[in-house]
Amino acid sequence: MASTDKPLLADSLFPELKRQLTEDPSLRPNVKALFIVNVLRKKQKAATWYLAINGKANEPHITKHESELTDTERHLKKIRIEVEDADFFNFITGGLTGFRAYMTGKLKVKGDLMLAQKLEEFFRKMGGVERAMEFINKDPALQAQREQQKAIKAKL
């Protein structure tokens, strides 16, 4: 895995997603799948996150450790997603749609593409962009990254 001193944005955002889904069961999607998200940095795998979602009634399991998944979670339909950390951040903050990311090669999906789209639908319905921005504005490191992304976009 790629290493760097700068922490991954995904490593802050996935735990926040887990917290919100635990605290508010009404946000849980009615989907049954295991999303395996490989987060890249400079095209090298930097982290893998597992999002085991087993219906609306069950608490989702979001972890970096595959060994923590139950047998039931391991046997859910698998969707593998590969995305650069910066592109994941842009997706979370509303600057990049899943469709555009997929069509431009910034997001790679192996598995059921329709099920992968449900992850984006669920995220949007729960007010993901607004919630993410709220969380980012409370975290100085994430806020700095957001400002850096804005500066890069302004130069383009």
Query: ∠ at Cα 119 (116, 121), nearest 5°?
Result: 115
**What average pLDDT score do residues 111-128 get?**
80
Domains with residue ranges and CATH for the chain: 10-150 (3.30.1050.10)
pLDDT tens profile 44-56? 999 999 999 999 9
Nearest to residue 34, comparing CAs of 9, 70, 10? 70
- How high is the pLDDT of residue 156? 61
Residues 16-48 pLDDT 10s: 888 888 888 888 888 999 999 999 999 999 999
Q: Does residue 95 carry a pLDDT above 80?
A: no
Indicate whether 143 pLDDT > 90: no
DSSP string, 1-58: ----SSPPSHHHHHHHHHHHHHH-GGG--S-EEEEEEEEEETTEEEEEEEEEEE-TTS
